[in-house]
Amino acid sequence: MNRRDLFANGGAAALLLTSPSAFAAPLAPAAAGLVGLRSALEFGVTGDGLVDETDALQGAMDAVLNASAPSFLVIPPGRYRVSRPLRIEYRRETTGNVTQPHGILAHGATLLSGITDGSDVLTITSHATTRFLLMEGLAIRGNRSEGRGLVFDCNREGSYIYNLCLRDIFVENCGSDGLNMIGNIFEGQIFNCYFRDNGGTGAVLKHGDAGGVLSAIHVFGSVFGGNANHGAVLSSPANDASFHGCYFLENGLFGLSAANGCPLLSHCGFENNHMKAGSKATGDAGARISNFGTLVGCTSHSIHYQTHLVRSYIVGDVTMIGCSASGSRLAALQSSGTGRATVIGCRGEIDHTGAFRSVRIGQQAGAVFGSDWNGMNLVHLGDYRLWVDAGGNLRMKRGAPVADDDGKLVGT
């Protein structure tokens, strides 16, 4: 192929990507046995932002995603006004279990909500085992009179959503939450998504109250900002979701609230959350992580009402590595009596509640341990324990002390 032919073919490819008319006919699969592509233009959408596209879009979703062999629905760039909720539903008795890649490809497509009765904009419900659902490039823009923007509902026993993937999804200005993921949703990923300026919480991940356990969810490079309540919530008892390189800013309450713990926050930023507070005296931390958690390379920045990077009531173990705080304190920590906190190479002040103390390494002095005789973080030297008694004396005992004046005096 010469250069002129190459450029000619490249120009044709560009035309396919930019011209809505290119999608007017069904898009054939690339090869036999592969999942096909179908355009929403087949079903009468216009994308002009003026006409009501609800019926056309629902027809496209019913035909492409709710069939015995679901494929990919391509929604070309444009603005699609909807006046009623859109629903995708998988039922074992009609479609069977879906085990092949399928979904919505919609880069440049925006759903403009004209819903005014508090109903959700787009809901995906599984009454079957649904795997490999991909949603990519879709934007949902609310008017504050609808409910939630995007809902994945598997709130029942015996139904599952596996391997869900959201990429480049944008949900803003909805009347309630931006995203809800509920129930038996496993091994899913969320990449480069934005949940901002919604009337509730940016994203809520939770178990189903009618059955279903959400687990193994990973969120990468996503933004949760300007939402009226929290940026994101792991609703108790759900806790198996982690966040990597995400940013939580200017939410009304916490940037992230994880009432039963969070396995990993890595390189996440928390900026100016608790905008509802009105003052630092009534503000709080960027993240609230109770029970257990690990934070690596996370940052806090505040010029308003965010007081700490993280607040934690610790039952298990909390570990912080290489975290820092600017304009706020690093952490507010409290323990149930069984919890432990380890802080390594972090920058910022820590507030401890009661006698509980964290182990701090590479912060202030070289290493700082708890000093109360009945604390969780006494220095252990082989079988021996070291602590400081009420009189300021250093004591040592082989085995665990049973009182403040137990053991032998080592120094005063």
| Choice between 372 and 344, residue whose per-residue pLDDT is larger | 344
Give per-residue pLDDT as tens, 29-49: 433 344 689 999 999 999 999
Give per-residue pLDDT as tens, 328-341: 999 999 988 788 89
> Amino acid identity of 388?
V
- Which residues on neighbouring strands pair with residue 135, listed in sequence order? 104, 166
For residues 242 and 284, give the distance between their C-alpha atoms in angstroms, rounded to a whole number: 22
Rg (CA), the chain: 26
Own/partner long-range contacts of 50-55 (Cβ < 8 Å, ≥24 apart): 50/81, 51/81, 52/81, 52/82, 52/83, 52/114, 53/80, 53/81, 53/82, 54/82, 54/83, 54/84, 54/86
19 phi and psi angles, rounded to 5 deg? -100, 120
The DSSP string of 60-84 is: HHHHHHSSSS--EEE--SEEEEESS
pLDDT of residue 7: 34
pLDDT of residue 26: 46
Give per-residue pLDDT as tens, 125-147: 999 999 999 999 999 999 999 99
Helix (H) or strand (E) holding 233: strand 232-235
pLDDT of residue 29: 43
> Amino acid identity of 88?
I
Contact 239, 263 (CB under 8 A): yes
> What are the residue boundaries of the structural domains of the chain, listed by start?
35-370, 371-412
Half-sphere exposure for 246 (CA within 13 Å, toward CB): 30
DSSP collapsed to 3 states, 167-184: ECCEEECCCCCCEEEEEC
Helix (H) or strand (E) holding 330: strand 329-335
Q: How far apart are the first and last CA of the chain?
A: 87
**CATH annotation of 35-370:** 2.160.20.10
Q: Tell me, yes or no, if the pTM score tops 0.95.
A: no
The structure tokens 């009182």 sit at 403
